[in-house]
Chains A and B, each alone.
Chain A
Amino acid sequence: WASGAFTLPALRQALRATGVRSAVSATHVRHMKVLVGVKRVIDYAVKIRVKPDKSAVETANVKMSMNPFDEIAVEEAVRLKEQKVATEVVAVSVGPTASQEQLRTALAMGADRAVHVVTDEEMLPLNVAKVFAALVAKEQPSLVVLGKQAIDDDANQTGQMLAALLGWPQGAFASKLTVADGKLQVTREVDGGLETLGMSLPAIVTADLRLNEPRYATLPNIMKAKKKAIDKTTPKELGVTMKKHLTTLKVNEPPTRSAGIKVESIEQLMDKLKNEAKVI
């Protein structure tokens, strides 16, 4: 990557071919760096409005916050550090200039440093995954923790795509995480209940709601965070093109729910079911 011209398939092949994984695993035990992704999204409590031209959701003058699942991811990473399992936590955000607010919050929660990949392009999951893959190559973390999905696009793709790009194991929808002897145990919430997976490091984990309850960033840490470094870069510098392979055609508000009505008799009920709701 010094020459600035590597390709991801080549990287993956190289990592696989040279059996670097086992050597890297040993390193991961001694020096466990955790990369955490944070995304700037419209605050969860805000009532979403669609722009009059139906092209997108209104974001001007709207309260923005860290994606709630990313807060959980940051919290988990900081806890790993407090348990002396991780040695360094690096928060990463791909997004516009204002995303650095979210990085400051991550730093205030306990991340050691941050990387801001500045871009005004739309954050399509595949592109973000490619950016993360490039950063992984640079930072060499043992673990990447992402929120399971962002509450703006609800895509739930970035973590999985990143794992595929890197050829790393993945534990998505994690509700519990333990690290021991260079191995990861992830309990996942799946439709049928809980599934526990074991995998070696390095690995990707995506955080689900019940993984933990994120801490409040307290004042002494907020002040300390101001002194922590935020390194800036761009997708271009990392060799990634944010290709627009998806175009949003239209955004509509969900249809308004009409009021329920009370009916006076069975006959009226039958009539409405037949002629209005048209279900019989």
Chain B
Amino acid sequence: EDSAMLSSALRGRGGTLGRSLPRLFSSQPAGALNSLDIEHFASIIGGHNVVTDAQELEVYNTDWMRKYRGNSKVALRPGSTADVSAILMHCNERRIPVVPQGGNTGLVGGSVPVDDEVVVSLSRMNQVLSLDEHAGNLICQSGCVLESLQNYVWERGYTMPLDLGAKGSCQIGGNIATNAGGLRYLRYGSLHGTVLGLEVVLADGTVLDNLSALRKDNTGYDLKQLFIGSEGTLGIITACAMALPRAPKSIQLAYLGCDSYEAVLQTFASAKRDLGEVLSAIEFLDRESLELVAGHAEGFRDPLEHKCRHYMLVELSGSNEAHDVEKLEAFLEGVMDDGYVRDGTVASSADQSAHIWSIREGITEALSKSGRVYKYDVSIPLDQLYSLVEVMRDRLAPVGAEVSGFGHLGDGNLHLNIHTPGVFHKVDAVQDAIEPYVFEWIAERRGSISAEHGVGVMKPPFLHMSKSAGMIDMMRGIKKMLDPNGILNPHKVLPPLQAALNERAA
């Protein structure tokens, strides 16, 4: 009776997205989970690591923005690569779809089930396996929380090569699966460069051991690159080897206020020219973003006296404090004399630094508290970056939504956020005013519709705006090869084939 009830409950499809869910690649229908499967999982990882309680499952089923809710009846918490391998082997045979999940901080709905896929959480796999203190190579399991790793390696004289607002919750496996960018991308580059090796479990349970920590190894195709940024659709990352930069001896942070975007661009140009080799971050936020943080963050204090149109954070990381302070002061004198910067401050203690960073890193949370957020993460040519914000602001004023922009100026990456203050449910008028207009605007300028957040479940319909049909077809081919039964994170990243055929026919 139990298994029958479970089966029929699980067989219900339709999910909560309110639209039909096309199967991607599998010719067989998705497997329906039954009690035998659950017993089998329990025999692999222990009954207490199989979550079936509805209330506990809420966390696994809901994304950070509370925008996407899945309907999974089972979440699994493996403790080792062998566990993950056994789980996937079984799911592959039974055609049971799975969603790999790390810190569940993704912003495009890629980390939660669409329907009743089984969630495979990597959270228990949080061990550092080794840190080679001479070479600066870290080997760790994929469930390690980024902030924990940062604290661990910092004590030993190293820093993680990426940093993002979600660091307290996000896990390195998820960071790698999404090719996360973050605040220090400008200095340390992409995970495609800093990840030295990966251990990945493939759809059929095969463990791909490419966990070498060699900096240089040109022996055949660099397979790990496929998995970096694959968003859990080609394999489950279980461990990684990363090249770590040395922790900087001197960190300087300047917080600047500019009166126009033009001034911001000029300041940026001066920064690159005068501070080039020691720059570690250049971020910007508009006044609207600052006011959001002011309104919703506890303990907020405006470091500046004047209200400016835009604000910038310029961070230097170097090996010699005296040199860097001198460079910074020369740069600041220059931009003030030239009139690009109206006001600003230099953090004089780690406390002040932390507070200034909390302004930039607190915008996302402040937005969530303020109302429903329609979030877009785009790459566009630098000189037009803020134009998009202004265009959308005009377009959305009639439907009562507010627009703010901030982001990684140094990487040409704008986080465009539209929100409805005080209104927490989706408003169709707002959604329709944004999409597909915003993607078309970006496509016209040959930008990217997803600079760093990834595709998830949010952007597959728009992928063709940044990647050609030929490229998407090749992606499908690779997906088919690595996951013939389509069990890994279905409905994510790649647009459904039928939709694509319609697109081409039209």
Q: A residues bordering B, Cβ < 8 Å?
A: 43-47, 61, 63, 65-66, 68, 71, 105, 108, 213, 216-220, 222-223
Contacts and interface: CB of A to CB of B under 8 A. Distances in A.
A226 B408 CA distance: 32
A141 B343 CA distance: 33
B350 A63 contact: yes
B258 to A, nearest CB: 12
B56 interface: no
Interface stretch (B208-216, B259-267, B297-305, B394-402): B297-305
Given A47-B155, A213-B301, A222 B346 contact: yes
B91 interface: no
Contacts of A217: 345-346, 348
Contacts of B350: 43-46, 63, 65
Contacts of B336: 219-220, 223
A218 B349 contact: no
Contacts of A213: 301
B249 interface: yes
B348 A45 contact: no
Contacts of B155: 47
B345 A66 contact: no
Instruction: State the 5 A-B residue pairs at the shortest beta-carbon distance, nearest first.
Output: A45-B350, A65-B349, A216-B345, A216-B303, A219-B344
B114 interface: no
Interface of B: 155, 249, 251, 255-256, 301, 303-305, 329, 332-333, 336, 341, 343-352, 354
B343 A45 contact: no
Given A47-B155, A61-B249, A223-B336, A218 B304 contact: yes
Contact of A223 (B333, B349, B351): B333
Contacts of A105: 348
A223 B345 CA distance: 11
Which of A44, A219, A223 is the most central at the interface, judged by chain B CB atoms within 10 Å of its CB? Answer: A219
From B301, B304, B336, B351, name the one whose CB has the most chain A CB atoms within 10 angstroms.
B351
B348 A66 contact: yes
Chain B binding surface, main DSSP class: mixed
A65 B348 contact: yes
Contacts of B345: 216-219, 222
Contact of B332 (A46, A66, A216, A219): A219
Contacts of B303: 216, 218
A220 B341 CA distance: 10
Nearest to A105: B348
Contacts of B346: 217, 219, 222
Contacts of A46: 350
26 contacts: A43-B351, A44-B349, A44-B351, A45-B351, A45-B354, A47-B155, A65-B348, A68-B351, A71-B349, A105-B348, A108-B348, A216-B255, A216-B303, A216-B304, A216-B352, A217-B346, A217-B348, A218-B305, A218-B343, A218-B345, A219-B332, A220-B336, A220-B343, A222-B329, A222-B345, A223-B332
Given A45-B354, A219-B332, A219-B336, A68 B305 contact: no
Contacts of A219: 256, 332, 336, 341, 343-346
A35 to B, nearest CB: 21
Contacts of B329: 222
Contacts of B351: 43-45, 68
A253 to B, nearest CB: 13
A88 to B, nearest CB: 22
B321 to A, nearest CB: 8
Given A216-B348, A219-B344, 6 more contacts: A43-B349, A44-B350, A65-B350, A218-B345, A219-B346, A222-B332
Nearest to A222: B346
A217 B303 CA distance: 9
A105 B347 CA distance: 10
Nearest to B157: A61
Contacts of B348: 65-66, 105, 108, 216-217
Nearest to B155: A47
Contacts of A222: 329, 332, 345-346
A213 B249 CA distance: 28
B311 to A, nearest CB: 13
A82 to B, nearest CB: 13
A44 B352 CA distance: 11
A68 B332 contact: no
Contacts of A43: 349-351
A256 to B, nearest CB: 13
Nearest to A108: B348
Contacts of B255: 216
A273 B255 CA distance: 54
A219 B249 CA distance: 24
A30 to B, nearest CB: 30
A96 to B, nearest CB: 14
Nearest to A46: B350
Contacts of B251: 63
A90 B186 CA distance: 42
A74 to B, nearest CB: 11
Nearest to B255: A216
Contacts of A71: 349
Nearest to B354: A45
Contacts of B343: 218-220
Contacts of A47: 155
| Residue from A105, A213, A216, A220 with most neighbouring chain B CB atoms (10 Å) | A216
A195 to B, nearest CB: 28
Contacts of B347: 216
B158 to A, nearest CB: 14
